[in-house]
Chain A
Amino acid sequence: MKLQFEEQTALIAKQIAKQVERFLETKLQERKLNRQKFAQDSGIPASTINGFMNEESRVPTLKTLYKIAQYFDCTIDNILGRSDNNDADRMSYNDISFEDVNNNIRDFIKVRLTEHNLEQSELGPLIGRSRDVIRHFMNGNQKTLGIELIVALADYFGYKYNE
Chain B
Amino acid sequence: MNERKETLNKRYNIDQILTKGADAKLEAVIDKKNKKVISESSPKLNSDDLKIFQEAKGALRKNSKNIKDQEHPKTSIKSHINKSRER
- Give A contacts to B, CB under 8 Å: 7-8, 11-12, 15-16, 19, 75-77, 80-83, 90-91, 93, 96, 101, 103-108, 110-112, 114-115, 147, 150-151, 153-155, 158-163
Asked if B72 is at the interface (CB within 8 A of a chain A CB), the reply is no
- Give B contacts to A, CB under 8 Å: 1, 4-5, 7-26, 29, 45, 50, 53-54, 57
Chain B interface main SS type: helix
B4–A108 CB distance below 8 A: no
A154–B12 CB distance below 8 A: yes
With contacts A104-B17, A105-B18, A111-B26 taken as known, whether A159 is within 8 angstroms of B12 at the C-beta atoms is: yes
Question: B14 contacts which of A77, A103, A106, A114 (Cβ < 8 Å)?
Answer: A77
- CB neighbours of B17 from chain A (8 A): 104-105, 108, 150, 153-154, 159
- CB neighbours of B11 from chain A (8 A): 77, 82-83, 160-162
Cα–Cα distance between A93 and B13 once the two chains are bound (Å): 15
With contacts A11-B5, A12-B7, A110-B45 taken as known, whether A151 is within 8 angstroms of B25 at the C-beta atoms is: no
A107–B19 CB distance below 8 A: no
- CB neighbours of B12 from chain A (8 A): 77, 82, 151, 154-155, 158-161
Cα–Cα distance between A15 and B12 once the two chains are bound (Å): 14
With contacts A111-B22, A111-B45 taken as known, whether A161 is within 8 angstroms of B13 at the C-beta atoms is: yes
